[in-house]
Structure 1
Amino acid sequence: MDTSTWRRTDVRLACVFLLSYLAAGFFLQVEGVASLAERITKLTELSNQRSIIKLNNERYRELVKAAPRNYSIILMLTALNPNRGCQVCQAAHEEYQVVADSWRITGGNDKVFFTMVDYDEGHDVFNSLKANTAPVFMHIPPAGKPKDADTLNIQAVGYEAEVIAKWVQERTGNMIRVVRKPNYGGVIAFSLLMVLVAGFLYLRRNSLEFLYNRNVYAWILVAVILFMTSGQMWNHIRGPPFMQRNPQSKQWMYIHGSSQGQYVAETYIVMSLNLAVAIGFILLNEAAKSTTEAHKGRNKVMAIAGIALVAIFFSALKSIFRAKYQGYPYSFLFK
């Protein structure tokens, strides 16, 4: 065989190799696109069945770790088993459920999916993400590795649904309008109270002099003001936990460490402090009413008691405010 024949053979082989390489690359690309489409279809079907997709080790590798991706994964690492001793996992899961339901109700797209991994079902996921606490909220971006900001700092901002929704918007660019299920318990309780009041007035219809007593209305107004200023309406709307255990120190926390949240116990504490301040001002006002010599000693005691109540408990209120709003520079008796 001459040299020209060898050259023609080499050219043919090179063309065949090149065509085979291009064809293989094409089919691999098509296969990758199909795999991405299949994952999106599966995630969409699962999210339609349940707004939070529960993952185990295998599903995590298939739907979250697999590449390529053009969607974001919001992942909650939790431990809902009571034997695990996670005191806040259930409350955090309920708030996370509100966000996921709101995303689906308000017309979510296939660019963000809400998922959850329980330690008992996906401990390998915890190990791969180097998570040694729960709950943890993470954002898995479409490309690249998660950054520090892709983990929600619940110790600083809490885990309320509004906080999670704002964080998701910052990480994915998708706004979520939080929609909470209506609570009819308050309406029923208020209706029963009105029925009891109407029944009481009917039974006392022949002696209603107390309705003309100004002190009665004064105390009613004080009660309403204390109810509103302590945050009871916020509790009714948001439904926060009564208190929470600190995951590091294992101590119970009655005051929320962020201005974005509060506990039920905290509202009772604030209400009691406001009541003590109000009583202090009432004592000061009553002490100034009478200037006769007969009541001079009593008025002095009332004035001292009023000043002490206002100074001590108002200082306590400022201390709580200072703890919740980091950087607040003012204090009185307590830091």
Structure 2
Amino acid sequence: MRSFRTPSVFFGLVILAQFALNNASNFDELDPDANSQLKIKKLISLPRKNGVLSLHDADIDQLAKGPSRNYSLLVLIGTKVKDCEGCRIALEILENIALGWEGKSPSSNDLFFSFYDFYHDQSLIKEFGIERAPHIIHFPPTGYPSRADQLSDSDVFMSEERLANWIRLRTGHTIVPYVRPDYTKLKVFGVVAIIIGLPLIFGFVTFRTMSAFVSLGVILSMLSGAMWISINSPPWVISDGTKTHIYYPSRGGQLVFESVIIFGLYACTNLGLVLLTQKCRNLKGTKQSVCVLICLSMTVLGFNQLAEYYALKTGELPYHRSLL
């Protein structure tokens, strides 16, 4: 009799353990509301900037693909690491929409905005076969994202109204994008005030000389090596009619060296002009002739070589004759 009871107790414990495991694994089915609230708390605890969450692969698996969700999740796929101007603009527009949603419904948990950096995570790229960025995916409260829940149209990403309208069609929520304050006029007023105020504060500096140096500083900062890098830096985009190819240089030293060359040529050109108009006029005789010759040579040489390097970089040929 004892040998019969022992297996019975053993099999009874096995059945109870299996039942407990089934209850734990089917928690979503048994109590979906509680599980959904846990996911919302997890979303709220994620890093957030301007209303946009930062998601990784583990967060996507848990918060976007799992069942028992009563919220919509918008995931913008792009990168902050590489030089992706379209990603930056799309993220800024999505942040304005997210801030507009928070201003309208500050305590609502029906809609969340997020950013997924494909430089660090790759699962969404492989799963949905994404070939271009920026790309946005809408994970609806129920079901799997369809083709209509995905967007990669650059024209839509460049307009807050169009992107907000697409979100309205997918989620049913009407959002007025947040309008950020524009400080452009204030900056212009500050620059004008500085230019006008400097001669009044420093009386020993004539307005003409000060204006020449201010102009030189503005020209060198706006048209220097830094601006040259901004215009000619990677990625270089080339289209052959069927595909778009993006090229990144293997070394950044070339860009640094080019920036130094262009900065020096701009400095040579503008310094020659300033000295020609400010310094040479105060000299007499042979000194004035030598000053004019040197300053004029600096101006012509600098400007001519700028045109030469422009032709080398762009393939176009502005009118010039190489002097070096």
TM-score, structure 1 length as denominator? Answer: 0.47
TM value normalised by structure 2? 0.49
